[in-house]
Homo-oligomer: A and B are copies of this chain.
Amino acid sequence: MTRRLAILAGEGELPRLLQEAREDAVYVTFAGVDARPPEDARHLAASFERLGALFADLHREGVGEVVFAGAMRRPALDPARFDATMHALAPRLMQAMGRGDDTLLRLVASVFEEQGFRVVGAHEIRPELVLGAGTLIGPAPGAGDLEDADHAEKVIAALSPLDVGQGAVVAGGQVMGIETLQGTDAMLRFVAETPASLWRKRGVLVKRPKAGQDLRFDMPAIGPATLRAAAAANLAGVVVAAGEVLVLDQPKLAVICRECGLFLLAR
């Protein structure tokens, strides 16, 4: 028997999409994160400084599993506001914050697990949010596009051990953008600003998880904004890892692909 789900809501559409699928879920928002609860959801307002209070609330609500949903930036923590649980966690947290996001997220997940919660991925709640291998929306990619995608995948794989890179743009064999902390849309704006004299071919954006990434958090995601930014950057298409990238608002994506002549391929 599945126990009640808590959605730890970050930014974007994903938390609401999960709420639609699990109407009895508890919807948790954090102070400082831009996420509003749906009107009819059971809502808990939480703070990263008082995780002990959150754990108590979740147990009281009968929550057995939690999902991290949507972008959640590193919070600025005020130790003066820590509850006892956070004071106990502080040494481990401080250590993890000096490293990459992966380390920090893994720690946060462990902490939830130590409290008896199962941590699940968004794609386990709504499996239709990922695309199966071979799914193609829009025109077929050319051989050069697939070579560019191969190269971008190698870039992402090479950076995986360093906790960076879920996205890269390659055009005609040349690397034009590598995703860093600022995210995919910022990278695509950067690529769009490339002087015309440096362009030879249209490019391809690849989004995929880092090698060995735990898909239960910080799963790569694309949506209509990503595709519009890709079109603005004069790309030929987008390649996502089948089963491992959240693809939001698929009907709208199909429209954008048709309008802009972009392909979207899962492989």
Of B175, B180, B194, B198, the contact of A175 (CB 8 Å cutoff): B180
Is A111 positioned at the interface, with any CB of B under 8 Å from its CB? Answer: no
Which of chain A's residues 72-124 have a Cβ closer than 8 Å to chain B? Answer: 73-74, 98-101
- Contact of A162 with B158 in the complex, beta carbons under 8 Å: yes
Kindly report how many copies of this chain are found in the complex they form together.
2
Is A208 positioned at the interface, with any CB of B under 8 Å from its CB? Answer: no
Q: What is the distance, in angstroms, from A9's C-beta to the closest C-beta of chain B? A: 18
Bound-state CA distance A98–B193 (Å) is 23
- Contact of A155 with B151 in the complex, beta carbons under 8 Å: no
Per-residue B-contact encoding for A154-182, CB less than 8 Å = 1, 0 else: 11001101111000000011111110111
Q: Which residue of B lies closest to A172 (CB)?
A: B98
- Contact of A182 with B173 in the complex, beta carbons under 8 Å: no
- Contact of B182 with A194 in the complex, beta carbons under 8 Å: yes
Q: What is the distance, in angstroms, from A220's C-beta to the closest C-beta of chain B? A: 16
Is A17 positioned at the interface, with any CB of B under 8 Å from its CB? Answer: no
Is A197 positioned at the interface, with any CB of B under 8 Å from its CB? Answer: yes
- Contact of B186 with A162 in the complex, beta carbons under 8 Å: no
Is A60 positioned at the interface, with any CB of B under 8 Å from its CB? Answer: no
Of B162, B180, B190, the contact of A151 (CB 8 Å cutoff): B162
Q: Which residue of B lies closest to A174 (CB)?
A: B181
Which of chain A's residues 228-259 have a Cβ closer than 8 Å to chain B? Answer: none
- Contact of A190 with B186 in the complex, beta carbons under 8 Å: yes
- Contact of A159 with B164 in the complex, beta carbons under 8 Å: no
Task: Name 13 interchain pairs, CB-CB below 8 A, sorted by A.
Answer: A73-B198, A98-B172, A154-B162, A155-B162, A163-B175, A176-B181, A177-B180, A181-B198, A182-B190, A182-B193, A182-B195, A186-B190, A190-B190
Which residues of A are interface residues toward B (Cβ below 8 A)? Answer: 73-74, 98-101, 151, 154-155, 158-159, 161-164, 172-178, 180-182, 186, 190, 193-195, 197-198, 200
